[in-house]
């Protein structure tokens, strides 16, 4: 059973300022799109027969072909393709980080942003692991070539301390760059969604 109440066509028309114009909608670019009914979870395709009303902002009141449930469906623009989303899904996405449609597409595109910073981050990570490897090699070689147990122990301890600090610092810088890029991508995605809502 759906948590969204069944409401009349008149309610949708009055609340969302819909206009009765089912014959004036050009659906030809959108006939390959589908939407999921919130009541019975039937996958419906968009066609002129199940559209009751058309409103501003690319909203449609559509009947489910299986259970005749009325749903408000939005036509969302992603960067690569258009998508139909029910109003219930839009409201649910608003409360869960808006993770739908255009967010997914922009995050894919933003992955190509800041290539130099991504390269620097990867270089720092490689340097960190090279530093860890060279620290282990230095500790082993110094122990085999040094004379005296005390000198060997001091060289091993000092190389391990310096190596560990170097590795942690390099990894921290690498992760810091990645965090900066992630923050920028999330901010850009949210700004895109907010701009689309206005």
Average pLDDT in the chain: 67
Q: How distant, in Å, are the alpha carbons of 20, 60, 149, 156, 194 from that of 17?
A: 10, 11, 87, 77, 22
The 3-class SS string of 143-190 reads HHHCCCHHHHHHHHHHHHHHHHHHHHHHHHHHHHHHHHHHHHHHHHHH
Eight-class DSSP state of 36: E
Split at pLDDT 50, 70, 90, the class of 134 is: very high
- Which residues are bridge partners to 44 per DSSP? 35
Q: Residue 37 and residue 42: Cα distance in Å, rounded?
A: 5
The string of pLDDT tens digits covering residues 165-186 is 999 999 999 999 999 988 888 8
Q: Where are the domains of the chain?
A: 9-98, 115-197
The string of pLDDT tens digits covering residues 83-123 is 454 545 444 444 443 333 333 444 444 456 788 888 999 99
Contact 4, 38 (CB under 8 A): yes
Contact 40, 66 (CB under 8 A): yes
pLDDT for position 21: 45
Split at pLDDT 50, 70, 90, the class of 77 is: very low
């Amino acid at each position: 059973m759906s948590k969204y109440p069944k409401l009349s066509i008149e309610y949708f028309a009055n609340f969302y300022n819909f206009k009765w114009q089912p014959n004036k909608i050009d659906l030809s670019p959108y006939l390959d799109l589908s939407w999921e009914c919130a009541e019975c979870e039937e996958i419906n395709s968009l066609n002129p027969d199940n559209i009751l009303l058309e409103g501003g902002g690319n909203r449609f009141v559509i009947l489910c072909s299986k259970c005749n449930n009325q749903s408000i469906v939005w036509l969302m623009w992603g960067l690569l393709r258009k998508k139909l989303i029910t109003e219930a899904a839009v409201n649910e996405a608003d409360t869960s980080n808006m993770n739908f449609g255009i967010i997914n597409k922009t995050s894919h595109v933003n992955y190509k942003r800041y290539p130099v910073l991504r390269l620097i981050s990867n270089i720092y990570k490689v340097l960190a692991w090279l530093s860890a490897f060279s620290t282990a090699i230095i500790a082993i070689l110094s122990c085999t070539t040094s004379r005296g147990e005390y000198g060997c122990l001091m060289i091993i301890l000092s190389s391990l301390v310096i190596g560990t600090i170097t590795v942690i610092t390099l990894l921290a810088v690498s992760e810091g760059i990645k965090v900066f890029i992630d923050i920028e991508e999330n901010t850009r995605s949210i700004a895109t969604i907010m701009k689309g809502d206005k």
